[in-house]
Structure 1
Amino acid sequence: MSKVAIPFSEPPWLMGMPSAYYGESHRKWQKTCRALVDELMADAGEWEKAGDVPEDLYGKFAAANLLVPNLSAPLPVKWLQKAGITELPGGLKVEEFDYLHTLIYADEMARSGSMGPGGAITTGVAFGLPPILKFGSQELQERFVPDILTGKKRICIAITEPEAGSDVSNIVTTAAKSKDGKYFVVNGAKKWITNGLWSDYASMAVRTGGPGPSGLSMLVVPLLNMPGVTMRRIKVGGQTAAGTTFIELDDVMVPVSNLIGQEGRGMIYVMQNFNHERLTISIGVNRLSRVALGSAFEYVMKREAFGKTLMEQPVVRHRLAKCGAELEAHWAWVEQFVYCMTKFTEEEANRELGGLTALAKAQAGKVLEVCASNAILLFGGNGYTKSGQGEIAERIYREVPGARIPGGSEDVMLDLAIRQLVKNYQRKTKELETAMERPKGSSKL
């Protein structure tokens, strides 16, 4: 039997509010995703406690064609059809998939309130495969794309290093060509790499040239059972089941044919890849905030203190109202960006939304901090306990740093957003001035 949703526990369009964004295929897709994710991730909370996911979980997602929606729209239809994937669950044609379908999938995957199990499934395909699809040669795609799309092989994205996080241009992992010119010899280390433990390959940022951004390239680097590669798990405060990994690379021989795109253009590829990452992070973190706030809202309606329910206390209602306003404002902003993604070309989206997406990602972390910390306070002692009624709030609160740092740390995102907005303003001003200077009228005598 269905029940009335707790306020703030669902986005407005799922609370019965009219929306201009979503059509019938989106509504059908949402129901399909929710049913499948609820089934496949039913024990996500227990997996997060244990710090790992079942070995067969990735295969189950692959069998259900639920790895594909991690990619940005439009999907790589040609490759999907070659792999025998013409439809996603619920009968959604791969060529009809748009970025609103991506939003719905990312939102549903975060609904369990545990980021680790979802991260163990989504991160590699979502961020490791796109550089190959967008910038790789036909031959490179032939070798790697089919097996990754079907889940036969796994991939991760490996950018961050012990000394280079948000400052990508400071990467020091080197890839020098062998004397015979057939290999890149890779040396260095990558840190905080989600899914690394289980990945056959990494789309890796390496230094093939001199200092600075122009010296960076991207390679597909084999990981599992590869001579010279050592991987170990890193224990982190949140996303404990996502397989966060430290990767050491000691004279790893990578064929030169594994170069993604052109040598020296790695910084460009990394930056463009970040836009999809930051937008999907914003979506998932917003849902995590909903789970925290919704669970606290439900709790205070039944918990009694001083002879009345907590909801009857004005200070409690005040906390809920402030959190709800932050949450819904952020969601409306993200929805607008996603809608733009369905209308823009990729070039337009990168140019117009890059800085704004960074800002939305930064704001997502702030919203989560507000919602999670207030949920803890509203649950009281139960919110400080790793079991029982408030365990969901306690678990989500540990995810706040993971929302504010990975994918571009908060202060870097804030600065990036303004710099890109200024750049766009100056470009448009120059274009307008140039247009006004053009001669008008007929050239006829």
Structure 2
Amino acid sequence: MSKSVPIPFSEPPWLMGLPSAYYNESHRKWQKTCRALVDELMADAGEWERAGDVPADLYSKFAAANFLIPNLSSPLPVAWLKKLGIHTLPGDLKVEDFDYLHTLIYCDEMARIGSMGPSGAINIGIAYGLPPILKFGDQKLQEKFVPDIITGRKRICIAITEPGAGSDVSNIATTAMRSEDGKHFVVNGTKKWITNGLWSDYASMAVRTGGPGPSGLSMLVVPLLNTPGVNMRRIRVGGQTSAGTTFIELDDVKVPVENLIGKEGKGMIYVMQNFNHERLTIAIGVNRLARVALSSAFEYCMKREAFGKTLMEQPVVRHRLAKCGADLEAHWAWIEQFVYSMTKLSEEEGNRELGGLTALAKAQAGRVIESCASTAVLLFGGNGYTKTGQGEIAERIYREVPGARIPGGSEDVMLDLAIRQLVKNFQRKTKELDTAMSKL
């Protein structure tokens, strides 16, 4: 039994005691397990973000607890996990019972620390770097990399973005040309803003193996740490300072041809499908960050006095909180419905039907956190502009806003992509209906 009443907006409705049709006992037990583990493993997350780095052994602690695995998209790679002796996740959750609502809970709880930095230092690499190997790599490629990565003995990142090609993936310039003896791809180019790159043994990397445009792209598992021709340096960014954002230079890096993920020339397809998991998990975590900011400001306004009354007694303050709260909870309700749909659809159906909406949900997350974080800073006043003290959390989350709106696909690109995908689906279904009607 809780010993305190939660601050309004501090938890999603289902954790505020309201009924929900989405969550079963497995999900409720998992939420308690995740909260306890995050509170234990990430207790000093605020201090790490201030320092700009996480402890060197944090990743191994997550791996030892089997707490890296929930970063992977549902369904989990059950055959691989059982082959490696991993039958359950923390809290005795069977790996075969894990669904996307468990993913939602994990991402939500990890973001409760109030920063994308420390959690990003642990999650982003494996969450987005390993799935291309699991989904598109052949058995030989998986046997080469999966056991060490999934158990945390080795680390991986996803390397798509370049100085001249961010959301415009089809414009990637990093080349991978076959060597004369045909045994290697020789990789040359640069990758920028690669989260976790500094610590990664490998990268699932988008490269150009053919001509211009999307048909010339492929994906390779490129070795990074201690590899000749690879130079990495840290990029200092405004938010998520402890996540290890990296600039990677590749100068005649030899990569065995066996490291090709899937088929040559299919890289654009793999990247786009991989983005769906990335964008949805970003939307979940960003919503929680917005929740932390807004509820912190809500609590502050009930205590802080100005002009002879608390801030909460000022109508303009209540108006600001109300508008942000409406946007926050509407976005969360959409995410829940979205994730529930994913538990009922096959992966192919989910990619086809929800790909555009995933981009839209991610874009909306950026708009929600911008509103909630800026409002929190404003209501905290001078404290919200200070990196220590009462308003520190609002100041920190406000610096996370660009990291919510840009990575995983910039907001304007996401909005456009969403509509183009919806039009494409409409036209496809109209054609299918016309064909069916003509046969009657």
So what's the TM-score if we normalise by structure 1?
0.98
Q: Give the equivalent residue in structure 2 for 1:214.
A: 215
Q: Give the equivalent residue in structure 1 for 2:206.
A: 205
Q: Give the equivalent residue in structure 2 for 1:132.
A: 133
Q: Give the equivalent residue in structure 2 for 1:171.
A: 172
Distance 1:115 1:436 in 2: 51
Q: Give the equivalent residue in structure 1 for 2:124.
A: 123
Distance 2:261 2:166 in 1: 21
**What are the ranges of 5 or more consecutive residues in structure 1 without an aligned counterpart?**
440-445
Residue 185 of structure 1 pairs with residue 219 of structure 2: no
Distance 2:133 2:21 in 1: 34
- Cα deviations by residue, 1:398-423 (Å, 9 ceiling, x for unpaired): 00000000000000000000000000
Aligned positions of 1:194-273 closer than 5 A:
194-273=195-274
**What are the ranges of 5 or more consecutive residues in structure 2 without an aligned counterpart?**
none
Q: Give the equivalent residue in structure 2 for 1:91.
A: 92
Secondary structure of 2:180's match? Answer: coil
Distance 2:182 2:130 in 1: 26
- Cα deviations by residue, 1:187-235 (Å, 9 ceiling, x for unpaired): 0000000000000000000000000000000000000000000000000
Q: Give the equivalent residue in structure 2 for 1:22.
A: 23
Q: Give the equivalent residue in structure 1 for 2:289.
A: 288
Instruction: Compute the RMSD of aligned alpha carbons.
Output: 0.5
- Cα deviations by residue, 1:104-161 (Å, 9 ceiling, x for unpaired): 0000000000110000000011100000000001000001001111000000000000
Q: Which moved more, 1:79-88 or 1:174-183?
A: 79-88
Secondary structure of 2:147's match? Answer: helix
Aligned residues: 439
Q: Give the equivalent residue in structure 1 for 2:10.
A: 9
Secondary structure of 1:176's match? Answer: strand
- Cα deviations by residue, 1:235-273 (Å, 9 ceiling, x for unpaired): 000010000000000000000000000000000000000
Distance 1:29 1:3 in 2: 22
Q: Give the equivalent residue in structure 2 for 1:300.
A: 301
Distance 2:4 2:77 in 1: 39
Letter paired with 2:58: L
Secondary structure of 2:19's match? Answer: coil
Letter paired with 1:32: T
Secondary structure of 1:75's match? Answer: coil
Residue 428 of structure 1 pairs with residue 429 of structure 2: yes
Q: Give the equivalent residue in structure 2 for 1:341.
A: 342
Distance 2:379 2:166 in 1: 35
Aligned positions of 1:97-108 closer than 5 A:
97-108=98-109
Question: After the TM superposition, which parts of structure 1 deviate over 3 Å for at least 4 consecutive aligned residues?
Answer: none
Residue 38 of structure 1 pairs with residue 36 of structure 2: no
Q: Give the equivalent residue in structure 1 for 2:372.
A: 371
Letter paired with 2:287: N
1:307 CA drift (Å) = 1.1
- Cα deviations by residue, 1:361-397 (Å, 9 ceiling, x for unpaired): 0000000000000000110110010000000000000
Secondary structure of 1:90's match? Answer: coil
Letter paired with 1:228: G
1:2 CA drift (Å) = 2.3
- Cα deviations by residue, 1:29-87 (Å, 9 ceiling, x for unpaired): 00000000011001111100100000000000000100000001100001101111100
1:163 CA drift (Å) = 0.2
Distance 2:4 2:60 in 1: 33
Letter paired with 1:430: K
Letter paired with 1:280: T
Q: Give the equivalent residue in structure 2 for 1:443.
A: none
Distance 1:257 1:217 in 2: 13
Identity of aligned residues (%): 85
Distance 2:328 2:3 in 1: 25
Q: Give the equivalent residue in structure 2 for 1:381.
A: 382
